[in-house]
Structures are given as structure tokens and as C-alpha cells.
């Protein structure tokens, strides 16, 4: 009953709108999203400022016009994904399979035939929930998320993410919960690109700069006897489908040692971003921790 409190009424209206767009066909919804994206570009000044800095740091050869074009394309894909996302909860599995074209399933099958769960590696991209729920149709999955400040939106997001039977953990559950799930043959996504501070991170080359990365995947994979597989996903506006590709498993020896693992993870993130640079969450402060502690590129 707490979620019916008047303070949540605007959120209920927003959820209702998302559900309406979720049942709308893509040929009608996408042009609306493209039109709305022009408004987002005009009003979202702070996130776009962060995006401009990130892109400039990661792609130093880009000029201002190229950066602005990439940001505009990025916002368009953000709005398209946002307005369509409720279909993951409302539509049938057959519809989701058609909407998300899965490539590289042979890599998943090979790991499963060996009795191994999978740690899918994907950074923060707009269609990440499409990737997770599509793969959850094929393999048992769990996920770990950071709680929203809005309790109702938190409930709605978790209902969507668990719609294929996967369990949703809050980040506070920690690494031990993920190891337990791996030992119970459940796979999950790991997002290695978030900047979690200097204390346990390692700096490694990343596109045109350096990035602080938390080297924990190698230990997770070893503890849970899991394969590590990069995943790319991008939306094709012409075909109106998401192309999801599971790449071959990462060789375990490339993740031995913190420095090697940080380098390997950053290379994976590079690979995923370069596949669809217009669909990465550039508004995140992914370069907040710098080799020089006094440097603040977002100031």
C-alpha cells in the first residue's frame, strides 16, 4: 500500500505512459522517440556536459562537430530504448526473440554443455535490459542492481528485470551472493565500467585515456567455475530490431593478476563501445577517478 502514497502518483502516471508505449508497435513509437530526443538535447545540459567530456577524453581525434553528432545520436537511442522498454514485461517470449536477434549462441551452448555458468561482460549501454532478458530466456540468470531513490520506480524496474524468472539482488548483497549463484548454476551480467573509486581499482589504458577498473571478475569466475563472455548489443533503427552478440569466452590466463585483469576488462569495454558507440551511456562519470588525485575533469 505504501506505493499508492500520493507522492508516487506522478511516477504511476509515468509508468502508465511507459506501459502504453510498450504495447505500441515500433514503427509508430520510434518516430515519436526521435522527435522527443530533440527536446532532451535542449534541456539535459548537465548530463550532456559529462558526455561531451567523456567522448573527448576517449576519442581525442574527434572534433567538436563529430562529438555533437555522436551525442545527438546517443540521446536518440536513449529515448527509443526508454520508450520501448516496457515491452520486455508485456510481450511474449516469441516476440522478444524476434525483437532481439541473438548471435553467438553457440558460445553459450558450449559453456552450458560443460556444465559451466557464464559471467556475461557488458558495460552500461542503453539496451542492457534487452540483452539480459533475452539471454535469460536461454539460460538461468540473476542480476545485481543499484537501488533507485524512487521506491515505486525501483519496484517497476525490478519487476521487469525478473520477468523471465531471474532473481534481482541489490548491490549491497555483495560479491558473495554472486558466487553463491554461480555455484547454483546461475549466470549473470557484470558491468566493469563503473568508476568505484581509487581504493581497490587499478588504472589501465582505455580508448584514448586511462581508467580506474575494479579487477574482480577473474576471481569470481574461478570461484564459481564460470566462463567469461563479452556481449555487444545495438538497436538497428531501420530493421527495428536489437542485434545481440555473445562473443567467445575470454581466456582465463588473460585475467591472472590485477593489472592483467584490469587491462583485459578495459579492452572488453572498448570492444563493446566501439561496436555501437552511439548506444553507450556516455553521461556516466566513468572517468571520475584519475591517476592524478587532484584532477577533476568534470568540474
66-104 tens-digit pLDDT: 999 999 999 999 999 999 999 999 999 999 999 999 999
Q: Give the three cell numbers for residue 170.
A: 541489490
Largest CA distance in the chain: 55
Give percent of the chain with pLDDT exceeding 70: 100
Mean pLDDT of the region 183-212: 93
Mean pLDDT of the region 239-260: 94
- Give the pLDDT confidence of 137-178 residue by residue, as tens digits: 999 999 888 877 888 888 888 888 888 888 888 778 788 888
User: Whole-model pTM?
Assistant: 0.94
Q: Give the three cell numbers for residue 2.
A: 505504501
Q: Please report, for the chain, the start and end positions of each structural domain, with discontinuous segments joined by +.
A: 2-279
- Which pLDDT score, from 0 to 100, does residue 105 have? 97
Give me the chain's average pLDDT, please. 93
Q: Give the three cell numbers for residue 33.
A: 522517440
285: left (phi over 0), alpha (psi -120 to 50) or beta: beta
- Which pLDDT score, from 0 to 100, does residue 145 have? 81
CA distances from 77 to 5, 6, 27, 70 (A): 33, 32, 15, 11
Is 80 exceeded by the pLDDT of residue 4?
Answer: no
| Residue 85 DSSP class | T
- Which pLDDT score, from 0 to 100, does residue 164 have? 85
- Which pLDDT score, from 0 to 100, does residue 1 have? 65
Mean pLDDT of the region 114-143: 95
CB 202 within 8 A of CB 212: yes
Amino acid at each position: 500500500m505504501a506505493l499508492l502514497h500520493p507522492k508516487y502518483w506522478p511516477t504511476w502516471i509515468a509508468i502508465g505512459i511507459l506501459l502504453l508505449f510498450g504495447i505500441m508497435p515500433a514503427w509508430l513509437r520510434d518516430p515519436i522517440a526521435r522527435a522527443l530526443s530533440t527536446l532532451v538535447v535542449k534541456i539535459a545540459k548537465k548530463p550532456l556536459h559529462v558526455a561531451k567530456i567523456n567522448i573527448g577524453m576517449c576519442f581525442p581525434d574527434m572534433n567538436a562537430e563529430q562529438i555533437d553528432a555522436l551525442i545527438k545520436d546517443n540521446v536518440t537511442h536513449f529515448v527509443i530504448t526508454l520508450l520501448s522498454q516496457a515491452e520486455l514485461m508485456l510481450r511474449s517470449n516469441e516476440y522478444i526473440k524476434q525483437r532481439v536477434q541473438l548471435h553467438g549462441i553457440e558460445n553459450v551452448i558450449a559453456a552450458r554443455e560443460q556444465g559451466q555458468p557464464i559471467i556475461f561482460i557488458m558495460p552500461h549501454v542503453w539496451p542492457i535490459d534487452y540483452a539480459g532478458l533475452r539471454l535469460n530466456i536461454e539460460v538461468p540468470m540473476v542480476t545485481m542492481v543499484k537501488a533507485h531513490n524512487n521506491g515505486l520506480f525501483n519496484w517497476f524496474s525490478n519487476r521487469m528485470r525478473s520477468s523471465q524468472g531471474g532473481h534481482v539482488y541489490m548491490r549491497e548483497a555483495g560479491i558473495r551472493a554472486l558466487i553463491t549463484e554461480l555455484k547454483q548454476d546461475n549466470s549473470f551480467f557484470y558491468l566493469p565500467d563503473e568508476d568505484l573509486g581509487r581504493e581497490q581499482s587499478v588504472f589501465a589504458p582505455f580508448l584514448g585515456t586511462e581508467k580506474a577498473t575494479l579487477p574482480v571478475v577473474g576471481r569470481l569466475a574461478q570461484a564459481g567455475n564460470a566462463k567469461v563472455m563479452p556481449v555487444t548489443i545495438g538497436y538497428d533503427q531501420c530493421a527495428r530490431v536489437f542485434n545481440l552478440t555473445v562473443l567467445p569466452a575470454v581466456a582465463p590466463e588473460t585475467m591472472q593478476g590485477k593489472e592483467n585483469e584490469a587491462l583485459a576488462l578495459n579492452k572488453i569495454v572498448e570492444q563493446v563501445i566501439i561496436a555501437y558507440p552511439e548506444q553507450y551511456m556516455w553521461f556516466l562519470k566513468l572517468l571520475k577517478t584519475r591517476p592524478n588525485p587532484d584532477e577533476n575533469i568534470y568540474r
